[in-house]
C-alpha cells in the first residue's frame, strides 16, 4: 500500500491518505466514516487514530493498517467525497510530527571511507564504529514533497544526503534483530540536509550534531510510505540522488554497514512507538567529499530529486531564505 498524508487546498490540517492509481487520493477518515454509516463494523479505536493521528503516525500501527486494508477492499462503498485528484490536494510528509526521529550516521561503507579521507586531511582518524551511531532530527525540520529546502542566511555550505527511512508500526522494546523487520510499518525517503561548517564545529567540540541538521526544511520527507509487505528486503534497493538532473549519489542499500533490522533492534532499547522513524544513513557522493565542494553545495534555484527503488521520488526545489 502507498500511504501518507495530505491536506485539502485551503485547509491546514494533515489527513491520513491512501494514494491510488490514476493520481487519486483516498481520504481514509472520510471513507471510514462512510463505511460505518453503511453498517460496516470497523475498529473504533483504529478509526479514531486514523482521524486524529495523521500528525504523529500512530495510525500506522497494526490495527490501523488492517483498517486501511478493509477500507480499500470496500471500494464500491466509498462515499464520493472520499476520493480527490492529486491536483486538488497538497501531499504532506508521511509522518509530519513523529515522536522520535533518529538519524543513523556513517552507515554506508563507501560514505564512511569518504568521511575518513575528509577527517584524515584534518589530521584526525575515524574508525568504523562497532555499533550503530546516530543523531536526532527534529520534527520542526520536516517538510513535504515539493516544499523548498531553505538556505539559511549566511550559510553557503548546505549539503544533501539521500536516506531510506524505516517507520515503526508496533511498540518495540529490546526486540531481536531477527524479529526487527516485523516492527516496521513501511519505508519512505528523507533528504538529510546539513550545514557543513556548523556540523564540523559541533563534531569537533564533541557536543553532538544538532543545529547543523535541524534548520527549518532540512528534512524533506516523502512523498509517501510504501508498506513493509511490499519491500520484503530493504537491503536490496537502488538509491539515487540528483541535483538539476546531475547524478550526485547512486548506491544500493546492500552497502549499509548495519542493516535496517540491526538499526531497529539496536534503537528499540529506547522504546519505539508507531510513527517513530529511523533514517538509515547515506551513500557516498555528498558535496563535502568533493575535491572542491563549493560548486556542489546547494544553491538557490536548484532542484533535488531523491529516488529509492519501489518507493518513488522525493523532489524539492532549493530557495534562499529571505529572513
Reduce the secondary structure of 203-247 to three states and give it as a string.
Answer: HHCCCCCCHHHCCCCCEEEEEEEEEHHHCCCCCCCEEEEEECCEE
| Confidence (pLDDT) at 6 | 97
| Confidence (pLDDT) at 118 | 75
At residue 314 the predicted structure's pLDDT band, cuts being 50, 70 and 90, is very high
Q: Is the pLDDT of residue 27 over 80?
A: yes
* CA–CA separation, 107 and 104 (whole Å): 7
The packing angle between helices 28-37 and 44-52, to 10°, is 150
Q: How far is CA 135 from the centre of its chain?
A: 15
Same-domain check for residues 68 and 135: no
* CA–CA separation, 38 and 70 (whole Å): 14
Composition of the chain by helix, strand, coil, percent to 5: 30, 30, 40
Classify burial at 22, counting beta carbons within 10 Å of its beta carbon; exposed 0-12, middle 13-18, buried 19 or more.
exposed
28-45 pLDDT, tens digit each? 999 999 999 999 999 999
Percent of the chain with pLDDT over 70: 100
124-158 pLDDT, tens digit each? 777 777 899 999 999 999 999 999 999 999 999 99
Same-domain check for residues 21 and 153: no
C-alpha cell at 218: 532540512
Among 92, 114, 138, where does a domain finish?
Answer: 92
| Confidence (pLDDT) at 176 | 98
DSSP code at position 127: P
Q: Span 68-88, mean pLDDT?
A: 95
Q: Span 161-186, mean pLDDT?
A: 98
Comparing 95 with 322, the larger pLDDT belongs to 95
∠ CA 259-269-60 to the nearest 5 degrees?
A: 75
| Confidence (pLDDT) at 264 | 98
At residue 116 the predicted structure's pLDDT band, cuts being 50, 70 and 90, is confident
Same-domain check for residues 63 and 207: no
Query: pTM for the full model?
Result: 0.96
Same-domain check for residues 210 and 247: yes
Same-domain check for residues 36 and 160: no
Strands 277-279 vs 101-105: parallel, antiparallel or unpaired = parallel
Same-domain check for residues 49 and 122: no
C-alpha cell at 54: 495523521
- Total domains in the chain come to 2
CATH number of 153's domain: 3.90.850.10
Does residue 41 contact residue 91 with C-beta atoms inside 8 Å? no
194-213 pLDDT, tens digit each? 999 999 899 888 778 899 99
Same-domain check for residues 39 and 118: no
Strands 238-243 vs 303-308: parallel, antiparallel or unpaired = antiparallel
Q: Span 221-230, mean pLDDT?
A: 98
At residue 229 the predicted structure's pLDDT band, cuts being 50, 70 and 90, is very high
3-state secondary structure of 18: strand
Q: Provide the domain limits for residue 87.
A: 2-92
Q: Span 168-175, mean pLDDT?
A: 98
Mean pLDDT of the chain, nearest integer: 95
Amino acid at each position: 500500500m502507498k500511504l501518507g498524508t495530505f491536506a485539502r487546498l485551503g485547509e491546514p490540517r494533515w489527513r491520513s491518505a491512501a494514494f491510488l492509481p490514476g493520481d487519486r487520493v483516498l481520504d481514509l477518515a472520510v471513507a471510514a466514516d462512510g463505511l460505518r454509516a453503511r453498517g460496516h463494523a470497523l475498529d473504533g479505536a483504529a478509526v479514531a487514530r486514523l482521524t486524529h493521528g495523521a500528525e504523529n503516525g500512530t495510525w500506522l500501527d497494526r490495527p490501523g493498517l488492517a483498517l486501511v486494508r478493509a477500507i480499500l477492499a470496500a471500494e464500491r462503498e466509498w462515499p464520493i467525497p472520499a476520493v480527490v485528484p492529486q491536483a486538488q490536494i497538497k501531499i504532506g510528509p508521511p509522518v509530519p510530527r513523529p515522536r522520535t526521529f533518529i538519524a543513523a550516521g556513517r552507515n554506508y561503507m563507501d560514505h564512511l571511507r569518504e568521511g575518513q579521507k575528509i577527517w584524515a586531511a584534518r589530521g584526525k582518524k575515524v574508525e568504523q564504529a562497532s555499533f550503530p551511531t546516530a543523531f536526532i532530527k527534529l520534527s520542526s525540520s520536516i517538510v513535504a514533497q515539493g516544499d523548498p529546502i531553505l538556505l539559511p542566511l549566511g550559510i553557503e555550505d548546505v549539503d544533501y544526503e539521500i536516506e531510506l527511512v524505516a517507520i515503526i508500526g508496533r511498540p518495540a522494546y529490546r526486540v531481536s534483530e531477527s524479529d526487527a523487520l516485523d516492527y516496521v510499518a513501511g519505508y519512505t525517503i528523507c533528504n538529510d540536509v546539513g550545514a557543513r561548517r556548523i556540523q564540523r564545529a559541533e563534531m569537533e567540540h564533541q557536543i553532538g550534531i544538532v543545529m547543523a541538521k535541524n534548520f527549518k526544511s532540512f528534512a524533506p520527507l516523502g512523498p509517501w510510505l510504501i508498506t513493509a509487505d511490499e519491500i520484503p528486503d530493504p537491503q536490496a534497493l537502488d538509491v539515487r540522488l540528483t541535483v538539476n538532473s546531475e547524478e550526485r549519489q547512486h548506491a544500493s542499500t546492500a552497502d549499509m554497514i548495519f542493516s535496517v533490522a540491526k538499526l531497529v533492534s539496536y534503537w528499540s532499547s529506547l522504546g519505539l512507538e508507531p510513527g517513530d522513524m529511523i533514517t538509515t544513513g547515506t551513500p557516498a557522493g555528498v558535496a563535502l567529499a568533493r575535491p572542491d565542494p563549493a560548486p556542489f553545495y546547494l544553491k538557490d534555484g536548484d532542484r533535488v530529486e531523491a529516488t529509492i527503488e519501489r518507493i518513488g521520488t522525493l523532489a524539492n526545489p532549493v530557495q534562499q531564505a529571505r529572513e
